[in-house]
């Protein structure tokens, strides 16, 4: 019973109130001055609006009924002053809230990027990058909208409505009761619409992100799309998603705009009832029209803030749904948390040892099955074997892109699970199977290996990777923009730039995941010479598809189905008649070369 009560007391973090409290807690204090100024402006807007309605009684009675010329200038001057004040106050609050809103969007974009950098590689392997980017771009404004809607609605619309209601009650309380009598049914109807809209908004956000994601993926893979004539198939797929998004958007439009007939009906009933009552009083009881005109003016002016407030819950719910999806991402905890007492890695010999390492991706069968492996410091260890043997998985475990399910990975006797990831990765240089180029110039892409590297060091790394010659042949040399993911470069050129990026890092451990796979024979021979120079004095673990590239390795480790099957030099392993390496070597040496 007690547990059930405690559970009830717990606040759902996804409710409107909970999200609003979180947004205010995270942003309110930093922008308190800006919001105070905006609220002061909004109060001025509300009071000047109420004053305009209030003074209508004097306009009608003094100027038209009593014909007092001396009052006309005073009344007109005060109305002009009220409108000027409202104009400047409206400008001030709009600019202040826009600046705050832009700052909040920028802040959450920075937070999201920083948080994404903390998440593991496993998260990005499971999440579609295009879908993720689309969701972030759509939802990041939700936090801003939650705050701005709350401030403007509370300080401007609610205060304006209260002020105008005060004018209405002061001028004629009986007419005010007629107006208030029809309000409860309207509020109930709006609440019903809001609940249905919240679910529709969440569905629409998801579908829209799928639309943007599908388009982004098509653009990125346009060469494959055209090569395999996939245009019509993808067009049918994307059109289906777009049709779904259109239906969701239409449903949201129908739900959102249902507030219009509701509020218009309410306004029409209230105003017609007021006019009928006031007309009969003026006709039969001879009541002066001034108070009535002031009341009607207040009622008409109250319509706009009342209409905005009627839509407020609908708008807040839509903004909260966006904010919820942002917070769902920000609240994701990294799977690979560093230990509280994690220390910096201290590298001496750069000796790498795997002890009984077991690993599987998710709930699938193990990729590595009790791997024991030693890569001696300052030497080259090659991993060979058929596809799926677990070679790339070992390369991914050393920088802690993933953590093993069982076993240990040691560098100079230090368990990498006990050291900080930053200190571990500073000691590594990595070249993947698929070289990735970032937006910027060729020089920028090489310098990512070590941001503080000088231009001379960047160019020296390019020479070692045999990239210098093709770089200086580019239109702007090292300052040539590479295009999206190096689209202006060939696969071999991108791979050599990726190797240059690893070389400029000047780390004691070098990881090469089939680093020469994209090179032609001539380029491969050149890069092999460069790597031989670069590998001196470093611990190198290299994966090779072509065994000819690892003939000079100090140790070759042959893997099969997640286990180490053989170890030795090329000469030793090639002479084992029934060995797996000998069989692979015979297949490659007997196969014709292109």
pLDDT of 593 over the 50 cut: no
Question: Per-residue pLDDT averaged across 74-96, rounded?
Answer: 86
Question: Per-residue pLDDT averaged across 252-277, rounded?
Answer: 70
> For the chain, what percentages of helix, strand and coil (3-state, to nearest 5) are there?
65, 10, 25
Output the pLDDT for position 594.
Answer: 42
In this prediction, residue 440 has a pLDDT band, given cuts at 50, 70 and 90, of: confident
Q: How many CB atoms lie within 10 A of CB 325?
A: 20
Question: Per-residue pLDDT averaged across 239-260, rounded?
Answer: 77
Contact between 212 and 332 (Cβ < 8 Å):
no
Residue 345 to residue 439: CA distance in whole angstroms = 31
Output the pLDDT for position 346.
Answer: 92
Alpha helix segments (H runs only) across 28-68: 32-54, 56-58
pLDDT per position as a tens digit, 539-578: 999 988 777 778 888 899 999 888 999 999 888 888 887 7
Strands 406-411 and 414-415: antiparallel
Output the pLDDT for position 374.
Answer: 93
Distances (CA, A) of 272 to 40, 99, 266: 35, 42, 10
Question: Per-residue pLDDT averaged across 502-515, rounded?
Answer: 87
b/e code 276-309 from CB counts within 10 Å (16+ = b): eebeebeeeeeeebbbbbbbbbbbebbbebbbbb
pLDDT per position as a tens digit, 441-475: 999 999 988 889 999 999 999 988 888 988 999 98
Output the pLDDT for position 19.
Answer: 81
Output the pLDDT for position 5.
Answer: 47
In this prediction, residue 415 has a pLDDT band, given cuts at 50, 70 and 90, of: very high
The whole-model pTM stands at 0.69
In this prediction, residue 508 has a pLDDT band, given cuts at 50, 70 and 90, of: very high
SS3 state of residue 528: helix
CATH superfamily entry for domain 11-330: ABC transporter type 1, transmembrane domain (1.20.1560.10)
Tokens of 172: 């004629």
In this prediction, residue 13 has a pLDDT band, given cuts at 50, 70 and 90, of: low
- Phi-psi category of 567—alpha, beta or left, where left has phi over 0 and alpha has psi -120 to 50? beta
Output the pLDDT for position 220.
Answer: 66
Output the pLDDT for position 9.
Answer: 47
Output the pLDDT for position 194.
Answer: 65
Output the pLDDT for position 526.
Answer: 67
Output the pLDDT for position 410.
Answer: 94
Which residues of the chain are in CATH 3.40.50.300 domains? Answer: 352-427+507-590
Residue 223 to residue 238: CA distance in whole angstroms = 18
Residue 501 to residue 484: CA distance in whole angstroms = 17
* Percent of the chain topping pLDDT 90: 14
Average model confidence (pLDDT) across the chain: 80
DSSP string, 434-475: S----SSBHHHHHHTT-TT--HHHHHHHHHHTT-HHHHHTST
What residues have CB less than 8 Å from 204, skipping those under 6 apart?
Answer: 245, 248, 249, 251, 252
What residues have CB less than 8 Å from 347, skipping those under 6 apart?
Answer: 411, 412, 427, 508, 509
Which residues of the chain are in CATH 1.20.1560.10 domains? Answer: 11-330
> Which of 141, 41, 130, 125 minimizes the C-alpha distance to 86?
41
- Phi-psi category of 370—alpha, beta or left, where left has phi over 0 and alpha has psi -120 to 50? left
pLDDT of 519 over the 50 cut: yes
pLDDT of 217 over the 80 cut: no
DSSP state of 399: T
Output the pLDDT for position 447.
Answer: 92
Highest mean pLDDT: which range of 13-17, 273-277, 316-320, 373-377: 373-377
- CA dihedral for 421, 427, 429, 432, sign (positive or negative): negative
Highest mean pLDDT: which range of 212-216, 289-293, 382-386: 382-386
SS3 state of residue 410: strand
In this prediction, residue 58 has a pLDDT band, given cuts at 50, 70 and 90, of: confident
Output the pLDDT for position 576.
Answer: 83
Q: How many CA atoms lie within 13 A of 443 on its CB side?
A: 14
Span 352-427+507-590 CATH architecture: 3-Layer(aba) Sandwich (3.40)
pLDDT per position as a tens digit, 116-170: 888 877 777 776 666 677 667 767 777 788 777 777 777 777 888 888 888 888 8
Output the pLDDT for position 355.
Answer: 94
Contact between 322 and 138 (Cβ < 8 Å):
yes
pLDDT per position as a tens digit, 274-323: 677 767 766 776 666 677 777 777 777 777 787 777 667 667 777 777 78
């Amino acid at each position: 019973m007690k547990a059930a009560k405690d559970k009830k007391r717990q606040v759902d973090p996804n409710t409107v109130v909970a999200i609003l409290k979180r947004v205010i807690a995270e942003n309110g204090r930093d922008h308190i001055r800006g919001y105070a100024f905006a609220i002061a402006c909004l109060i001025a807007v509300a009071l000047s609006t109420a004053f305009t309605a209030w003074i209508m009684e004097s306009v009608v009675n003094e100027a038209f009924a009593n014909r007092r010329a001396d009052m006309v200038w005073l009344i007109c001057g005060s109305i002009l002053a009220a409108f000027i004040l409202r104009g400047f106050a409206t400008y001030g609050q709009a600019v202040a809230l826009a600046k705050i809103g832009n700052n909040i969007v920028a802040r959450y974009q920075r937070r999201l990027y920083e948080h994404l950098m903390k998440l593991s590689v496993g998260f990005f392997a499971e999440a579609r990058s295009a879908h993720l980017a689309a969701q972030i771009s759509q939802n990041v404004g939700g936090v801003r909208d939650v705050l701005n809607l709350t401030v403007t609605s509370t300080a401007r619309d609610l205060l304006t409505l209260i002020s105008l209601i005060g004018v209405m009650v002061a001028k004629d309380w009986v007419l005010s009761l007629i107006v208030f009598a029809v309000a409860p049914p309207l509020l109930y109807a709006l609440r019903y619409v809001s609940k249905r809209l919240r679910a529709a908004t969440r569905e629409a956000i998801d579908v829209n992100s799928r639309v943007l994601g599908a388009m982004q993926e098509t653009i990125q893979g346009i060469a494959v799309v055209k090569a395999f004539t996939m245009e019509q198939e993808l067009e049918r797929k994307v059109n289906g998603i777009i049709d779904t998004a259109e239906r969701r958007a239409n449903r949201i439009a129908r739900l959102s705009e249902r507030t219009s007939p509701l509020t218009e009906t309410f306004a029409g009933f209230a105003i017609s009832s007021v006019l009928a009552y006031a007309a009969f009083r003026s006709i039969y009881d001879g009541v002066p029209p001034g108070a009535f005109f002031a009341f009607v003016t207040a009622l008409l002016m109250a319509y706009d803030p009342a209409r905005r407030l009627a839509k407020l819950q609908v708008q807040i719910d839509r903004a909260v749904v966006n904010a919820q999806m942002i917070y769902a991402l920000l609240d994701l905890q990294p799977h690979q948390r560093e230990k509280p007492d994690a220390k910096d890695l201290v590298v001496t010999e750069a000796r790498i040892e795997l002890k009984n390492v077991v690993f599987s991706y998710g709930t699938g069968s193990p990729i590595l099955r009790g791997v024991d492996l030693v890569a001696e410091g300052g030497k080259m260890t090659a991993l060979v074997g058929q596809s799926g043997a677990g070679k790339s998985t070992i390369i991914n475990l050393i920088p802690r892109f993933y953590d093993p399910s069982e076993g240990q990975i040691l560098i100079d006797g230090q368990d990498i699970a006990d050291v900080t990831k930053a200190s571990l990765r500073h000691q590594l240089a990595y070249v993947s199977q698929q070289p990735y180029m970032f937006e910027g110039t060729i020089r920028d892409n090489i310098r990512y290996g070590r941001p503080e590297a000088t231009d001379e060091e960047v160019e020296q790394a390019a020479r070692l990777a045999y990239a210098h010659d093709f770089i200086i042949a580019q239109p702007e040399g090292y300052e040539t923009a590479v295009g999206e993911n190096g689209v202006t470069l060939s696969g071999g050129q991108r791979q050599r730039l990726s190797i240059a990026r690893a070389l400029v890092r000047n780390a004691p451990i070098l990881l090469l995941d089939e680093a020469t796979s994209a090179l032609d024979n001539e380029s491969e021979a050149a890069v092999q010479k460069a790597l031989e120079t670069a590998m001196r004095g470093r611990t190198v673990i290299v994966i090779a598809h072509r065994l000819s590239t690892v003939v000079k390795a100090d140790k070759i480790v042959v893997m099969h189905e997640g286990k180490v099957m053989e170890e030795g030099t090329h000469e030793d392993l090639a002479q084992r008649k029934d060995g797996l390496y000998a069989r692979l070597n015979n297949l490659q040496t007997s196969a014709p070369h292109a």
